[in-house]
Amino acid sequence: MNTITKTVVITGASSGFGEGAVKTFADKGYRVWGTMRGTDGRNAAKKTALEAHSHSISIIDLDVADDASVAAGFARILNDGPVDILINNAGIMYLGITEAFSIAQAKEQMETNYYGAIRTMQAVLPAMRQARSGLIINTSSLVGRISPPFFGTYTATKHALEGYSQAVRYEVAKLGVDVAIVEPGPFGTGLLGAGKPPAHAEVLESYGELAGVPAVMGTHFAQMLQSPGAPDPQWVVDAYLNLAEMPAGQRPVRTVVGIAWGVDEMNRRSQPIQDKILHEMQLEGVLGGVSA
């Protein structure tokens, strides 16, 4: 039997990467807290199944888009002991003509994908800084670095998450805390199917034939990602685990997983430019070396 050595919190544990990560980390000997919404309702069976997978798994109801829910959830978690690793995996994605999504729909995605990560990070960072140890993994996307058509409101959330993560990484590195970003390509996790159509349907009329392209694209992606040889979601889980088991201070800023669309090359070229800001702002001595 594996000896539990570290505690990990994984948001968005009801499906996809999150569900796989809960099982994999538990199998590797970690104490795992998985969070999801609806543990007394729609996800009650999922909670039961995951907790039955291992005695080291606890599933709690937590909505990353709600301040009070995050505060209560992490109070319970931290009361049990310190958090060594936080994996921000919860996310929602809408596909369609960007203009046709309402402000409310843009906010919905931002609340989960961006503000949700800030809420959970702020819940664990004080103790991590005090312990001078910890790892935060934020799940971004290829579209956190590029901006394809029809993903505009979702892409904006991931660009925001990337910017926030990079800044915090600089600021907490010398305090013993690592912040790393994982950028999955397309995977068959059900994320696309759980999206919502644009609220402003009347806008679509003026787009003509283009208005139907996102639906066709979504169908194509769904078929491709369920076909033999499609990227395996376990690859992303393995990327989480690899980062968790790397030596502190040596983890890369960004890890691309699966279909890359050139983002891996973009990261290699842009990170040295990004890190020059430390020299330009005369912060190298203050923040130390945090590039990778």
Identify the active-site residue in 115, 154, 170, 240.
154
**Token pair in block for residue 234:** 């376990």
In angstroms, rounded to a whole number, what is the distance separating the alpha carbons of residues 8 and 291?
A: 24
Identify the active-site residue in 54, 56, 58, 140.
140
102 catalytically annotated: no
158 catalytically annotated: yes
**46 touches 36 (CB < 8 A):** yes
In angstroms, rounded to a whole number, what is the distance separating the alpha carbons of residues 175 and 47?
A: 35
Identify the active-site residue in 6, 23, 46, 158.
158
For β-strands 177-184 and 57-61, DSSP reports them as unpaired
Q: 180 forms bridges with which residues in the sheet?
A: 137
In angstroms, rounded to a whole number, what is the distance separating the alpha carbons of residues 151 and 98?
A: 7
In angstroms, rounded to a whole number, what is the distance separating the alpha carbons of residues 231 and 239?
A: 13
CA torsion sign for 32, 135, 2, 242 is: positive
CA 25 to mean position of chain CA atoms: 16
**184 touches 213 (CB < 8 A):** no
DSSP classification of residue 145: T
154 catalytically annotated: yes
Q: Most distant CA pair in the chain: distance in Å?
A: 62
Close Cβ partners of 269 (under 8 Å, ≥ 6 residues apart): none
Active-site residue set: 14, 140, 154, 158
